[in-house]
């Protein structure tokens, strides 16, 4: 189960990803892809009440500081909807000059003043097919693509909040890397099982320990990774070749 609100021995040096007009502090590299979104009918098998407000386009190089598809409840009485959120979290009360992290650590998201309100009331799901991380080698940094061995959809756990600029901004929750993902980085997105998705969105669930008990992350052995092109480092590149294996 995910370690929500419990510290670990992992120590991290935050990095910053700068895209467009903003810089986004992070503890996991800020790139993922969503190139094969299930149909609405397929999604409703696991999220029966889902409303599709936005049909996602194929994107192989999703970066911070852009609008990303997510499933969330716009208010507690509404059904879950698939719509766009801004990838950069900053609660309205924090003001325009506050940090806008793209990630929140599972160990502290439920207790941090910056995140705990959203964790209790505004949780979301970010669909993905995989994500990218960089490994330092003797020849420089080599990007790797991490995905499922069975090619099934990944669901990143996230939180969202209305920002002072009126955007709905979100952050992806990360946890200590497990299984093959540890080869690449010490953190990974918190990827939820299909039977945890509705529970994660449930507005009646707000207690950290209850959420910890009922929400499950995918087994680590379903993940795999391989080296990919350096072209992923440029956000202007967005095509299928970015996820194809290359010789490191």
**Greater model confidence, 4 or 222:** 222
Say whether pTM exceeds 0.85.
yes
- Would you say residue 7 lies in a domain? no
Q: Which helix (H) or strand (E) holds 210?
A: helix 208-214
Contact 223, 148 (CB under 8 A): yes
If you compute the radius of gyration of the chain from its CA atoms, what whole number of angstroms results?
17
Mean pLDDT of 146-153: 96
Distance of CA 22 to the CA centre of its chain: 19
Q: Is 133 a catalytic residue?
A: yes
Burial class (CB in 10 A: 0-12, 13-18, 19+), 32: buried
pLDDT at 139: 84
- Lowest mean pLDDT across 43-52, 79-88, 226-235: 43-52
Distances (CA, A) of 225 to 96, 131, 147: 38, 9, 6
- Would you say residue 242 lies in a domain? no
Number of domains in the chain: 1
C-alpha angle 217-129-8 in degrees, rounded to nearest 5: 35
The single residue of 29, 124, 170, 191 carrying the catalytic annotation is: 29
% pLDDT > 70, the chain: 88
The single residue of 107, 124, 133, 175 carrying the catalytic annotation is: 133
- Would you say residue 2 lies in a domain? no
- Would you say residue 247 lies in a domain? no
Whole-number mean pLDDT of the chain? 89
Q: Is 29 a catalytic residue?
A: yes
- Would you say residue 45 lies in a domain? yes
Cα(90)–Cα(104) distance, integer angstroms: 11
Model confidence at 54, in pLDDT bands (50, 70, 90)? confident
- Would you say residue 146 lies in a domain? yes
Question: Which residues does residue 172 pair with via DSSP β-bridges, in sequence order?
Answer: 103, 158
Q: Is the pLDDT of residue 18 over 50?
A: no
What residues make up the domain containing 70? 15-233
Q: Residue 169 maps to which CATH number?
A: 3.90.1680.10
- Would you say residue 117 lies in a domain? yes
Q: Is the pLDDT of residue 48 over 60?
A: yes
Nearest to 145 by CA among 62, 222, 33, 46: 33
Kindly report, residue by residue over 163-196, the tens digit of the pLDDT: 999 999 999 999 999 999 999 999 999 999 999 9
pLDDT at 6: 46
- Would you say residue 198 lies in a domain? yes
């Amino acid at each position: 189960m995910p370690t929500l609100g419990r510290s670990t021995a992992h120590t991290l040096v935050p990095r910053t990803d700068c895209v467009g007009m903003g810089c986004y502090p992070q503890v996991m590299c800020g790139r993922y892809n969503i190139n094969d979104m299930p149909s609405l009918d397929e999604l409703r098998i696991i999220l029966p009440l889902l409303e599709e407000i936005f049909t996602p386009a194929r994107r192989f190089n999703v970066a911070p500081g852009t609008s990303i598809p997510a499933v969330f409840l716009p208010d507690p009485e509404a059904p879950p909807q698939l719509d766009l959120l801004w990838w950069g979290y900053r609660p309205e009360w924090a003001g325009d000059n506050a940090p806008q992290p793209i990630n929140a650590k599972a160990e502290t998201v439920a207790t941090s003043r910056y995140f705990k309100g959203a964790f209790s009331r505004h949780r979301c799901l970010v669909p993905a097919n995989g994500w990218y991380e960089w490994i330092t080698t003797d020849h420089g940094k080599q990007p790797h693509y991490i995905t499922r061995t069975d090619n099934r959809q990944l669901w990143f756990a996230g939180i969202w909040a209305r920002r002072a600029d009126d955007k709905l901004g979100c952050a992806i929750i990360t946890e200590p890397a497990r299984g093959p993902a540890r080869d690449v980085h010490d953190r990974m997105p918190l990827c939820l099982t299909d039977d945890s998705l509705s529970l994660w969105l449930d507005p009646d669930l707000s207690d950290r320990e209850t959420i910890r008990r009922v929400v499950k992350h995918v087994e680590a052995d379903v993940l795999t990774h391989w080296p990919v092109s350096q072209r992923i480092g440029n956000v202007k590149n967005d095509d299928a070749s970015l996820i194809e294996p290359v010789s490191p």
